Amino acid sequence: MTSVTPDSLSSAPPEILALGPVAWAKKNLFSDWFNSLLTVIIVGILGWGIFRLVSWALTAAQWQVIPNNFGLFMTGTFPSELYARIWALLAVVCGLAGLSWGVLGRNVSTLFSRSVLIGLGLVCAFIVLFPPTRPSSLKLLPMVALVAIAAVAGRQVGRKFPGIGKWVSLAWFLSYFVALWLIGGGLGLTPVSTNDWGGLVLTLFTAVSGIVLCFPLGLLLALGRRSALPVVRLLSTVYIELVRGVPLVAFLFMGQVMIPLFLPIGSRPDRILRAVIALALFSAAYLAENVRAGLQAVPRGQREAAMSLGLNTPTTLGLIILPQALKIAIPAIVGQFISLFQDTTLLSIVGLAELLGIGKSILANPAYLGRYAEVYLFLAVIYWFFCYAMSLASRKIEEKLNTEH
């Protein structure tokens, strides 16, 4: 009989055997004839596709359309003599982003790990090498530096005042109004009509406004649908089911045409405002269902434990149920935010010159006839960048909120 001696029970995990590249390929790619065949076919198709794309991008593509219209892509018809205000807005956002990064990472040993350094290096290289940014790269590089400096400062401040998180959130909230002021003017700045808001700035502005508005609304609808009061429950359910049954395009047109009908004659709310409201009302219905899924995933015992301690319903909801429900629903909620961001492209249908709309109008210019592939590829990269950033952020938040281990 063999027995296991304590010595052989090492508490360290077994070492993973490192495979050489040849052995790795043999194990994972060519383990039998069928896998080998699949590997060859897939590598062939991928390689051919990438080769075609790269050779097109380097030889056939005429990228001149991007740098020539870079200002349009970013800000639409925003007056170019007021670009300084957009730069100021970018600086505010970069500073706040760096600050938040530093405050959140105040307990991490180093802010600038290898992967972060590689990422920053890639961004800098992109700014320097990418043709359209070249005239403004002198301003973009300092922005990257600003993020880094703010991060270091944020870490110092965060270590000294652990309660600073609330103030950073407040600063983000206030930055929204600063953005509104910098873009729209007023209060000492030259006003810019919303007809001149456009491009990426308009896309980001409508997306952020939509997200900020639809979140509380979705939360209330989700709670309403689970309310003990039949009237509240019925109204929430009817709203959610009605909105989910209508396509967003129809909703946007209704927003443009019907919102003015409900308002006193003569008061015509701004086109962008109407679009943002329609977008938020639409997304709120979907968000409500995501939040409701989260609420249903919180075990009944949590509510019972809170109530048995004498907590009243609002406190139970705010301190026990919602924090857990929202944590569960983060992936779905962020998914909804990402699709809201992409849905802003539909605003071009109702005549707003957001990023895609600007792209279309540039393509309508005879000088850039037929430059579809270049323009749409460029736009796709921009959309991908922001959506990927959101999903990366959601993963970080999930990690941070994980209390299981």
Partner 1 sequence: MTQSQTEQPSAHATSTEPVIVARDVEKWYDNGFHVLKGVSMTVYKGEVLVVMGPSGSGKSTFIRTFNALEPYQKGSIEVDGITISHDLKNIEAIRREVGMVFQQFNLFPHLTVLQNVTLAPIWVRRWPKAKAQEVAMQLLERVGILEQAHKFPGQLSGGQQQRVAIARSLAMQPKVMLFDEPTSALDPEMVREVLDVMRGLAKSGMTMVCVTHEVGFAREVADRVVLMDGGYLVEENTPQEFFSNPREDRTQKFLSQIL
**In angstroms, rounded to a whole number, what is the distance separating the alpha carbons of residues 343 and 186?**
29
Of the two residues 192 and 320, which places its CB atom closer to partner 1 in the complex? 320
For the bound state, the minimum distance from the C-beta of residue 159 to partner 1, rounded and expressed in Å, comes to 18
Per CB under 8 A, which region of 206-214, 286-294, 297-305, 352-360 contacts partner 1? 297-305
Residue type, 398: E
Of the two residues 276 and 320, which places its CB atom closer to partner 1 in the complex? 320
| 296 touches partner 1 (CB under 8 A) | no
Q: Contact, 182 vs 84, CB < 8 A?
A: no
Tokens standing for residue 144: 């990257």
Q: Contact, 221 vs 236, CB < 8 A?
A: yes
Per CB under 8 A, which region of 127-135, 215-223, 281-289, 314-322 contacts partner 1? 314-322
Of the two residues 35 and 313, which places its CB atom closer to partner 1 in the complex? 313
Radius of gyration of the CA atoms of the chain, in A: 26
| 312 touches partner 1 (CB under 8 A) | yes
Q: How many residues does the chain have?
A: 405
Q: Which of 310, 369, 381, 399 binds partner 1 (CB under 8 A)?
A: 310
Of the two residues 270 and 304, which places its CB atom closer to partner 1 in the complex? 304
| 399 touches partner 1 (CB under 8 A) | no
Helices 355-363 and 372-401: crossing angle, nearest 10°? 170
Q: Which of 146, 272, 306, 346 binds partner 1 (CB under 8 A)?
A: 306
DSSP 28-74: HT-SSHHHHHHHHHHHHHHHHHHHHHHHIIIII--TTHHHHTHHHHH
Per CB under 8 A, which region of 80-88, 109-117, 224-232, 322-330 contacts partner 1? 322-330
Q: Contact, 71 vs 62, CB < 8 A?
A: no
Q: Which of 50, 238, 305, 393 binds partner 1 (CB under 8 A)?
A: 305
- Site residues (CB under 8 A) for partner 1? 299, 301-302, 304-313, 315, 319-320, 323-324, 327, 401, 403-405
